[in-house]
Structure formats: C-alpha cells, structure tokens
Chain A
Amino acid sequence: DTGVSQNPRHKITKRGQNVTFRCDPISEHNRLYWYRQTLGQGPEFLTYFQNEAQLEKSRLLSDRFSAERPKGSFSTLEIQRTEQGDSAMYLCASSSRALKEETQYFGPGTRLLVL
C-alpha cells in the first residue's frame, strides 16, 4: 500500500512564471486535499475534492490558483504568475469517505521557492 506521492519535491521559479504540482493519493481514497505551509506555521487548508468534484475552497485560494482532479484520481495544483509570497511547502493529503472518522494522510510535499 503506497502512500500519498507528490511531484516535484522541490521547485525554484522566477516571479511571474507558472508552476504546476501533482499529487497522487492513496489508491482507494476518494477524498483529496491541498494545504499550504509557510515557515514556522502549521498547514493551512486550500481546497478539497471528493472524487472529481471540488467541494470546498479556502479564501487563501486566489484567482491565480487552480486545482483539478479530472478523473477522480491524481490532482494538479497550478499557480499562475507566481509571486514571492507564494513561496511555501504545498502539501497534499487523502482520505477515505468510507470512514466517518476519517484521517487525512499526507504526502511529502512540494517545496516552492519563488525568486
């Protein structure tokens, strides 16, 4: 049983460029979450999918951010026109709806640095 995987693990980009991250959840999990974590802080929720439907979005998810989960399996998070304030760790998690008391399991994260 493989865990949540994320690619790339690290990304350095210049301000104004677009970046895309990928998350592959645990295979039997139908719920997928994106969080952002800045240095010295706890993760902050960005968005959540159940299968392919995006059911919840945080106010942190500005117009420059878009997330998709087209076939209800892997998900992508795109940031357009990156800004230095976007520098953070982007964490993906997945869970199974089968359990009401579900636990979110996290991937290793993608660390983004915007120069």
Chain B
Amino acid sequence: AQKVTQAQTEISVVEKEDVTLDCVYETRDTTYYLFWYKQPPSGELVFLIRRNSFDEQNEISGRYSWNFQKSTSSFNFTITASQVVDSAVYFCALRGDTGRRALTFGSGTRLQVQP
C-alpha cells in the first residue's frame, strides 16, 4: 500500500518569510513518482513539480525549491520570500510504477501568508 503524510495541517507566516512544507511517503515500489500540487481558493489543482525516484537532484524554480531524500522518504517543498499569492492548500502525491495510474495524495497543508 502507498501512503503520503503531510503532518502540518496549517502554517501561517508573514510575507517575505521562508516556509517549508513537509511530505513523507511510503511505498514498496522501487520506481515511483512524487508530485506537488497547489490548490488556491478557486479549487483547481495546479501542478507544480514531478520528481522520479531515481533522480535525487534537488530542484529550484524561482522562489520554489524541492528537497528529495530517499533515505528518509521525504520530498519537502520550500517557498523563499513568501508572498500573499502563495496562500493555498498544497498537496504532495505519489504514484508507483506497477501499472496502477492512481495518485495517492496527502491530506494537504494550508499555507496562509499574511501581509
């Protein structure tokens, strides 16, 4: 069985602070894919990043960065210099490579960035 845990239910920061959203996953698959999605108040899930299990390079995209550590089964997401527009619910998701196409989502972390 696959499982994704996002232990932080809600985080509140002040604009320009850095914030890290945690994601811990469980899978028996040797090859798997990890994702982060953003869900603003409008409700649509917006794709942010995909990471393959065989590629442990960290990635930076503007103010966003991701730290993938296979040894601790974690795929954490950091927003640098947060902005009010970053306020949303962020979901981490996992898909294995054994034929099933379903994504397994965590319960999400609600980020509130105060001006």
* Chain A interface residues (CB < 8 Å from chain B): 31, 33, 35, 40-45, 48, 55-56, 58, 89, 91, 93, 95, 101, 103-109, 111
Which residue from B37, B102, B105 sits with its C-beta under 8 Å from A56? Answer: B102
Tell me, yes or no, whether B91 is within 8 Å of chain A by CB: yes
How far does the alpha carbon of A108 sit from the alpha carbon of B39 in the complex, in Å?
A: 10
Contacting pair B102 A33 (CB below 8 A): yes
Task: Using known A-B contacts A42-B91, A45-B103, determine if residue A108 contacts B42 with beta carbons closer than 8 Å.
Answer: yes
Contact yes or no, A58 B102, CB < 8 A: yes
Taking CB atoms, residues of chain B closer than 8 Å to A58 are 102
From B33, B42, B52, B101, give the contact of A33 (CB < 8 A). B101
User: A33-B101, A103-B50 are known contacts; what are 8 more A-B pairs with Cβ within 8 Å?
Assistant: A40-B107, A41-B107, A42-B105, A43-B105, A45-B102, A58-B102, A106-B46, A108-B43
**CB-nearest residue of chain A relative to B102?**
A45
B residues whose Cβ falls under 8 Å from a Cβ of A? 4, 33, 35, 37, 42-47, 50, 52, 91, 93, 100-108
Contacts of B107 on A, CB cut-off 8 Å?
40-42
Instruction: Determine the residue in chain A with the shortest Cβ distance to B46.
Output: A106
Residues from chain B with Cβ under 8 Å of A40 in the complex: 107-108
Bound complex: CA A28 to CA B100 (Å): 21
Closest to A48 in B: B101
- The interface residues of chain B lying within 8 Å CB-to-CB of A101 are 33, 50, 52
